[in-house]
Amino acid sequence: MEEVHGFRYWDGRSILGFVDGTENPHGEKQRAYFGLIGDSDPAYKNGSYLFVQKYLHDLKAFNALSLPEQEAVFGRHKASDIEMPDEVKPKNSHSAVANVGDDFKIIRDNMPFGNIGNNEMGTYFIAYASTFSTVKKMLDKMFIGEPEGNYDRLLDFSTAKTGYLFFVPTLDMLDDFSN
């Protein structure tokens, strides 16, 4: 068993200094559409897929990069959180690779954490999705690349240590299971 204490950092930034979750769907209808299972799977309707990963960051290596190099890793400007235009943004930047299109969004709430005792600094990536295929598509693009080899540059500084997939039932489903 592992216990990790997360914390809020600045204005929703990761421990690397960039804002997390800027592509999150907003509004109740959008969040329900992308975060809850719909009519395509009536037995699980309004449940959700929950995906959690623990990433450890090499802060020393990342902080050794100049500000423009760090921004190229993310594809967005650090201070303003404004995404670079597509013609400027590197094809292997995090914002270019992790984006799987407007029809395939997830709801994320990443949490930075740190453990000085064992020198672990990182991010817990937490995502809700209406289909696991959305999360898989994002992970495939990040780790394998599209085209193959164009993986997420952030992974040069961040290592996934865990990965878990859960199904989150509705309260009605839980009541049905208890009967």
Q: Give residue-wise pLDDT tens across range 97-149.
A: 988 877 888 888 888 998 888 889 999 999 999 988 888 999 999 999 999 99
Q: How confident is the model at residue 158 (pLDDT cuts 50, 70, 90)?
A: very high
Residue 166: in which H helix or E strand, if any?
A: strand 158-168
CB–CB of 171/47 below 8 Å?
A: no
State yes or no: pLDDT of 91 exceeds 90. yes
CATH 3.30.70.1030 fits 28-178, yes or no: yes
Helices (H), 21-107: 28-35, 59-63, 67-74, 94-97
E strand spans, 4-157: 48-57, 107-108, 111-115, 120-129
Q: How far is it, in rounded angstroms, from Cα 145 to Cα 138? A: 10
- Does the predicted model carry a pTM greater than 0.75? yes
Could you say which DSSP state residue 176 is in?
H
Task: Mark whether 20 is an active-site residue.
Answer: yes
Q: Which of 20, 58, 109, 156 is catalytic?
A: 20
- Tokens at residue 88, please? 């400027």
- Would you tell me how many other CB atoms lie within 10 Å of the CB of residue 53? 20
Q: What is the pLDDT of residues 46-80, one digit of tens each?
A: 999 999 999 999 999 999 999 999 999 999 999 99
